[in-house]
Amino acid sequence: MKIGRIPYINCYPVYGAIDRGIVRLDGSIVNGVPTVLNTMMQNGALDISVVSAVEYARESSRYLLLPDLAISCDGPVQSVMLYSSRPAGELGGRNVLVSRSSMTSVALLELLFDEVWHARPRFVPGDAEVGDISSMPAGVDARLVIGDAALLLRNSPEDSNRYAYDLGAVWKDWTGLPFVFAVWVAQRSVPAADALSVHASLLKSRDWGLQNIPVLAEQAEQATGIDRSICVEYLSGLDYGLSYAHFAGLAEFFRRLVSRGRIPNGTLSFLPAA
């Protein structure tokens, strides 16, 4: 069994106990940014993985959702940010650098530009989450920054980044609903008993992680240089379950993407309980 993991600190709570040998996992962990894990799942190179919510929607016939496991926010997410030199509503026709590493974040950004900010910028694919993140690239008026890099920018405001939009907060203000960025899925071809075993381990590790946020925040500070207090606040603000409210937010996001022809109309299919 090969199980995918995003190397950002937002996955620490789910894998922390597994990494420490506190919880046993029947399989090997493979690290990759969301789009890499999406592709590996599409190619059958992984059995179970965290993937972009949009990846599940596009390939739902291939996957089963693992119940009660997701990366969500109910308001600010802090790690999916649009930084801009001007108000978002004034970015029509201007260049916006978008990360190639997260399908869901880009899909959400496009939706917000169309339906909240009523502007049509030019989206330029790039890797805004790596390299020099302290200044706006030449010829770019705004950029989407995701993951740990967005947290690193939190206390480093620049004149070129004087407008900052937290996409989780904008979605919440617009819809009143939580937003689900990532879900865990299993290939439908994986034997149910094997998938259930991995699922149980991930849930047990997640529960340990949520009870040990200060330990994970210390690890995150050492790994990224992000202040421990920011890591505690960030990890404490995320939700790693999949409640009715999160279902509603996920369904609303998918409904809006279906209406725009971005994803096929489908259903949410879950790994059956033992």
Tokens of 28: 């090997």
Q: Is the pLDDT of residue 238 over 90?
A: yes
What is the average per-residue pLDDT within 50-69?
Answer: 95
Would strands 142-146 and 48-52 be described as parallel, antiparallel, or unpaired?
A: unpaired
What is the average per-residue pLDDT within 247-273?
Answer: 93
Say what the pLDDT of residue 159 is. Answer: 44
Say what the pLDDT of residue 103 is. Answer: 87
Q: What is the Cα Rg of the chain in Å? A: 18
Q: Is the pLDDT of residue 25 over 60?
A: yes
User: Alpha helix (H) ranges present in the chain?
Assistant: 12-19, 34-42, 53-58, 103-112, 148-152, 167-175, 192-211, 213-224, 228-237, 244-259
Tokens of 192: 């149910």
Say what the pLDDT of residue 233 is. Answer: 96
Tokens of 68: 């009660």
Say what the pLDDT of residue 132 is. Answer: 47
What is the average per-residue pLDDT within 110-139?
Answer: 78
Say what the pLDDT of residue 158 is. Answer: 53
pLDDT single digits (tens) 70-107: 999 999 999 999 999 999 999 999 999 998 778 899 99
Question: What Å distances lie between residue 269 and 57, 197, 251, CA to CA?
Answer: 10, 18, 12
pLDDT class of 128 with cuts at 50, 70, 90: very low
Average model confidence (pLDDT) across the chain: 92
Say what the pLDDT of residue 77 is. Answer: 97
188-201: b (≥16 Cβ within 10 Å) or e: eebeeeebbbbbeb
Q: Are 162 and 187 in contact (CB under 8 A)?
A: no
Say what the pLDDT of residue 274 is. Answer: 57
What is the average per-residue pLDDT within 220-229?
Answer: 95
Q: Is the pLDDT of residue 130 over 70?
A: no
Say what the pLDDT of residue 134 is. Answer: 53
Say what the pLDDT of residue 14 is. Answer: 98
pLDDT single digits (tens) 181-208: 999 999 999 999 999 999 999 999 999 9
Q: Is the pLDDT of residue 264 over 90?
A: yes
- Looking at per-residue pLDDT, the higher value among 28 and 154 belongs to 28
Say what the pLDDT of residue 152 is. Answer: 87
Say what the pLDDT of residue 129 is. Answer: 44
Say what the pLDDT of residue 79 is. Answer: 93
DSSP classification of residue 137: P
Backbone φ and ψ for 185, nearest 5 degrees, come out as -135, 155
Place of tokens 């849930």: 203
Domains of the chain: 2-73+179-259 (3.40.190.10), 80-175 (3.40.190.10)
Q: How far apart are CA 107 and CA 110, in angstroms?
A: 5
Tokens of 39: 């592709």
